[in-house]
Amino acid sequence: MGYGMDGLWARARRRLGRNRGARAGLVIVGTLAVAALLAPVLAPQPPGRMDLDRVLLPPGPGHPLGTDYFGRDMLSRLIYGARVSLTVGVVAQSLSATVGVTLGLVAGYCGGWTDLVIMRLVELMLCFPDLLLAVGLTVALGPGPYTLFLALGLVGWPGMARLVRGEALALRDREFLEAARATGTGPVRVLWGHLFPNCLSPVIIAVTGGMAACIMAEASLSFLGLGAQPPTPSWGSMLNLGRPYLHLAPHLVIFPGLAIALAVFGFNLLGDGLRDALDPRRSDFPG
Amino acid sequence: MTAYIVRRLALMVPLLVGVSLVTFTLLYLVPGDPVQSLVGERATPQMVESIRRELGLDLPLHLRYGRWLARTVRGDLGRSWATHRPVMVSLIDRFPITLKLSVLAFALSTLLGVTVGVATAVREEAGGDHLARWALLGGQSVPIIYLCLVFMYVFGVWLRLTPVSGLGDGSIRYFLLPAGALGLYTSVYKARMTRSAMLEVLRQDYIRTARAKGLSERVVIYRHALKNAMVTVVTVLGAGLSALLVGSVLTETVFGLPGIGKLQIDGVYARDFPVVMGCFLFQAVVLSFTNLAMDMAYAWANPRIRFD
């Protein structure tokens, strides 16, 4: 790394601004965040208000995206659904990033037995297909918002730990760490103050990609009835509960599905753009 | 090579024990009384107690796990609490359905993924735009459940070309939609990987040499570039297997195909622990073996790799 941190970030910002995909991703993610934060202001109706005289209405005046089987406004429910998806994503990713980064740094920096034990644990966790592990955890803890956070958080950490360990392993014998140790810096300070900042860019890229994966996983779990419980307006459970009306009112399925795809696409675009900006070596953009 | 395979097989044992231990502990943590939900409201306390003893639920965790492990190594996964069928029999019964779905989807996704990956890489290398890159990224953002429902609506409800869901008589017609959706879903990742591997290879000097000596573009792309790009692609096929497994669980659930995935999710709903446990173990075994097979395919594709 022949440049200082400032150089890296300034260059990253410049590259990110030039990247059309990243800009589009930022717009999508920003829109979703605004929708989630301002849901009570933006939603035309409370998401739970029923009107049994106006059920399964197709999109039209009054209800831009139609109504569901209880006559609830689809647009309002989708806006509130952004809250569920983003909250689950942010909380679960914070959890898995904290656990994964800590264990990865410790494993890579300490090596020896610590590394061996942590990495065997990581391999064990990676033996479970991710979503199915979350299903198992949901069965054990009972469905609910906290289970969702915990299940998706626990699913994400092994990948993060493996990634950070690799970075830490590559850096542990470098001179700047040697210098820090030589001047009497304690091990905790070396790990978090010196090693961690140098592993930051792959972590940021992984967290962005992880948000996309979390939103997808939340939708799948809620679709199976193991995630957010009704009447919470989660995109996944809307997809599931709209399923019986597929032939009568396909808009019950089409719009929540598009919402999930759009949110995931936004984070994917952003993650891809960040990878190009922060880690030019791994870019699949020639030139 | 033989030594390597033996070592990998030996390493699989502690991993599988670990998987079963984690799953067992998870299921042990389940709140509420599984027996009460099995027998319903009208059972007398004595009945509940005797069933609990019969199922071994009165024992502490380590004894229950020990009993379970001793039976499992003999190939007996216990009986379903709900139907009393041996779990092993259910797994064997349903395996052909999951296998048929997975093999069809895998074939479709590999064919589609590699073709699209090569085509987009060649186009981009010839000075095209990055449109394909965005399109593939967008494709990867569509959840499998949504893809299944869209397929159902378009081909089953709207065009009426195929049955909407279920297994019917088990003929191939009932597998077209699920395998199509699952194949399309898993093909996007393969297309992206093939595309970036091809772009990497097409930049190499030997490709320029091949072109310079006047070989036709077809020979350059397929014989020189694709063959080398496939080394990378074969490695990532392994990573795709886990996605295929998860995808098949969701696809079976949406389409009501009675495969292993549906068995597992139904077991989760009914809190039928022996069934859930058996399915988890089955998936872990399948995943371990396919990963080993993928690593061997990798060695076969890339003669530079040696295992000892």
pLDDT at position B81 is 86
Contacts A130 to B, Cβ<8 Å = 242, 246
Q: Is the dihedral of CA A32, A93, A275, B127 positive or negative?
A: negative
Contacts A282 to B, Cβ<8 Å = none
| A142, A261, A272: residue with CB nearest B142 | A261
Dihedral-angle region of residue A241 (phi above 0 means left; psi in -120 to 50 means alpha; beta otherwise): alpha
Q: Is residue B266 very low, low, confident or very high in pLDDT (cuts 50, 70, 90)?
A: very high
Tell whether the model's pLDDT for residue B29 goes beyond 80.
no
Please give the helix or strand (H or E) that residue A83 lies within, else none. Answer: helix A74-110
- Our CA dihedral for B189, B194, B195, B196, rounded to 10 degrees, sits at 90
pLDDT at position A210 is 93
A135 contacts chain B (CB < 8 A): yes
Q: Could you tell me if B277 and B23 are in contact, meaning their C-beta atoms sit under 8 angstroms apart?
A: yes
**Considering the entire predicted model, what is its pTM?**
0.89
Q: Is residue B306 very low, low, confident or very high in pLDDT (cuts 50, 70, 90)?
A: low
pLDDT at position A6 is 58
CA distances from residue B239 to A135, B236, B246 in whole angstroms, order as listed: 20, 5, 12
Nearest-angstrom CA–CA distance, A55 and A74:
11
Q: Give me the DSSP letters along B52-97.
A: HHHHTTTS-HHHHHHHHHHHHTTT---B-TTT--BHHHHHHHHHHH
A159 contacts chain B (CB < 8 A): no
B19 contacts chain A (CB < 8 A): yes
pLDDT at position A3 is 46
Tell whether the model's pLDDT for residue B297 goes beyond 90.
no
CA distances from residue A251 to A53, A59, B288 in whole angstroms, order as listed: 18, 8, 41
Q: What is the pLDDT of residues B131-182, one digit of tens each?
A: 888 889 999 999 999 999 999 999 988 888 888 888 888 788 899 999 999 9
Q: Which one of A117, A119, A124 would you mutate to disrupt binding with B, by most B Cβ within 10 Å of its Cβ?
A: A124
Residue B86, phi then psi, degrees to nearest 5: -60, 135
Architecture (CATH level 2) of domain B97-301: Orthogonal Bundle (1.10)
Which of A99-103, B81-85, B235-239 has the highest average model confidence (pLDDT)? A99-103
Q: What is the mean pLDDT of residues A218-247?
A: 91
Q: Is the dihedral of CA B144, B148, B151, B154 positive or negative?
A: negative
Percent of chain A with pLDDT over 90: 52
Strand partners, B86: B79
The 3-state DSSP class for residue A73 equals: strand
pLDDT at position A285 is 43
Q: Is residue A284 very low, low, confident or very high in pLDDT (cuts 50, 70, 90)?
A: very low
Say yes or no for a CB contact (<8 Å) between A129 and B18: no
**Domain assignments of chain B as residue spans, ordered by start:** 97-301
Q: Which one of A23, A131, A132 would you mutate to disrupt binding with B, by most B Cβ within 10 Å of its Cβ?
A: A132
Contacts B283 to A, Cβ<8 Å = 129, 132
Distance from CA of B149 to the nearest CA of A (A): 8
Tell me what the pLDDT averaged over chain A comes to. Answer: 88
Say yes or no for a CB contact (<8 Å) between B157 and A247: yes
Find the helix packing angle between A74-110 and A145-171, rounded to 10°.
Answer: 40
Q: What is the mean pLDDT of residues A115-122?
A: 91
Burial of B165 (0-12, 13-18, 19+ CB in 10 A): middle
Q: What is the pLDDT of residues B91-135, one digit of tens each?
A: 999 999 999 999 999 999 999 999 999 999 988 887 766 788 888
Per CATH, is A5-40+75-277 categorized as 1.20.1560.10? Answer: no
Radius of gyration of chain B (CA): 24
Contacts A123 to B, Cβ<8 Å = 15
Say yes or no for a CB contact (<8 Å) between A123 and B137: no
Which of A231-240, A254-263, B44-53, B222-231 has the highest average model confidence (pLDDT)? A254-263
Q: Could you tell me if A107 and A161 are in contact, meaning their C-beta atoms sit under 8 angstroms apart?
A: yes
Say yes or no for a CB contact (<8 Å) between A132 and B199: no
Q: What is the mean pLDDT of residues B279-288?
A: 88
Tell whether the model's pLDDT for residue A4 goes beyond 60.
no
Q: What is the mean pLDDT of residues A132-150?
A: 86
Closest CA to B159 of B180, B141, B188, B138: B180
Percent of chain A with pLDDT over 70: 94
Q: What is the pLDDT of residues A23-57, one digit of tens each?
A: 999 999 999 999 999 999 999 988 988 888 888 88
Q: Is residue A82 very low, low, confident or very high in pLDDT (cuts 50, 70, 90)?
A: very high
Q: Could you tell me if B164 and B152 are in contact, meaning their C-beta atoms sit under 8 angstroms apart?
A: yes
Q: What is the mean pLDDT of residues B18-42?
A: 77
Q: What is the pLDDT of residues B204-220, one digit of tens each?
A: 898 889 889 988 888 88
| A21, A140, A272: residue with CB nearest B30 | A140
Q: Is the dihedral of CA B100, A137, B236, A118 positive or negative?
A: negative
Strand partners, A63: A60
- Our CA dihedral for A199, A205, A206, A207, rounded to 10 degrees, sits at 100
Q: What is the pLDDT of residues A195-212, one digit of tens each?
A: 999 888 889 999 999 999
A117 contacts chain B (CB < 8 A): no
Say yes or no for a CB contact (<8 Å) between A128 and B22: yes
Tell whether the model's pLDDT for residue B58 goes beyond 60.
yes
Helices (H), A111-199: 112-126, 130-141, 145-171, 175-182, 187-189, 196-198
pLDDT at position A286 is 39
Say yes or no for a CB contact (<8 Å) between B15 and A285: no
Q: What is the mean pLDDT of residues A134-151?
A: 86
pLDDT at position B151 is 93
Least confident of A232-241, A274-283, B269-278: A274-283
Closest CA to B125 of B30, B196, B212: B196
Give, as one character, the DSSP assignment of residue A280: G
A28 contacts chain B (CB < 8 A): no
Nearest-5° Cα angle at A243, A237 to A245: 125
Q: What share of chain B is helix, strand, coil (3-state, %, to 5)?
A: 75, 0, 20
Q: Could you tell me if A224 and B253 are in contact, meaning their C-beta atoms sit under 8 angstroms apart?
A: yes
Q: Is residue A1 very low, low, confident or very high in pLDDT (cuts 50, 70, 90)?
A: very low
